């Protein structure tokens, strides 16, 4: 909180300057998955063939689970050699091809099923490199947080005016900043996904929060 009461210099704010903060939260309605397949073989062609076959099965699985084509986007595609090091000698062991997708699941309650079906479709070639949550439209949340921030700033200004023995006037200056913290993906897999680890994948979505901050200068009557 910052404040200035009745500053005299023209370069300083005239009146009472305060900050206010408002927060609003809601359950996410979108889950973003990092899904893909990766294969290693003695040749690039062989590795790519395995990847393309597994990717076709994965895409079919996503379609069967109701994921729309517009919500599936390639995030990376890579081809590179892999080596082993023995007695200070670099030995080529094969080539790895990886194809990763960013997949938006708009039915949060169904994301566990989507993951399980992807595991079955991709088999040992499946990669899962993250999961995060989002809210498709934060307009209403920002409005609620903004209202709370304005009320918070007003309460602080009224308290300062009372302590200073002056009457609070109208706002002469208002600025706003807002952000919606993005949670770090809490689910990460390396190469492959062992199906026997869990019969059903359970995902906890929690809530996401939008924060609005305002800076207001009130006149002194």
Domains and CATH numbers, the chain: 1-28+136-221 (3.30.110.170), 30-134 (3.30.70.2970)
pLDDT digits (tens, 9 = 90+) for 140-171: 999 999 999 999 999 999 999 999 999 999 99
pLDDT tens-digit map of 125-138:
999 999 999 999 99
In 3D space, the residue among 190, 80, 182, 219 whose CA is nearest the CA of residue 126 turns out to be 190
The side-by-side arrangement of strands in the sheet containing 168-179 is 16-26, 208-220, 168-179
Supply the pTM of this predicted model. 0.72
Closest by alpha carbon to 143, among 20, 23, 27, 1? Answer: 23
pLDDT in tens, 10-53: 556 689 999 999 999 999 999 999 999 999 999 999 999 999 99
Distances from the Cα of 14 to the Cα of 3, 94, 215, angstroms: 11, 71, 14
Distance separating alpha carbons of residues 92 and 173, to the nearest angstrom: 66
């Amino acid at each position: 909180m910052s404040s200035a009461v009745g500053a005299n210099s023209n370069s300083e704010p005239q009146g009472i300057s305060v900050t206010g903060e408002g927060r609003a939260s809601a359950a996410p309605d979108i889950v973003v998955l990092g899904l893909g397949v990766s294969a290693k073989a003695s040749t690039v062609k062989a590795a790519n063939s395995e990847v393309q076959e597994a990717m076709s099965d994965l895409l079919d699985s996503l379609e069967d689970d109701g994921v729309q084509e517009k919500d599936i986007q390639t995030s990376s595609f890579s081809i590179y050699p892999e080596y082993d090091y023995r007695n200070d000698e670099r030995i080529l062991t094969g080539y790895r091809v990886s194809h990763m997708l960013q997949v938006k699941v708009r039915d949060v309650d169904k994301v566990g099923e989507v993951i399980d079906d992807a595991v079955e479709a991709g088999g040992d070639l499946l990669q899962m490199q993250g999961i995060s949550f989002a809210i498709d439209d934060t307009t209403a949340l920002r409005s609620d947080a903004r209202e709370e921030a304005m009320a918070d700033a007003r309460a602080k200004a009224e308290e300062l005016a009372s302590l200073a023995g002056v009457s609070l006037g109208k706002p002469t200056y208002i600025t706003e900043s807002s952000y919606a913290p993005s949670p770090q993906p809490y689910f990460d897999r390396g190469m492959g996904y062992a199906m026997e680890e869990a019969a059903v994948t359970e995902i906890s979505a929690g809530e996401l929060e939008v924060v609005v901050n305002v800076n207001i200068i009130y006149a002194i009557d």
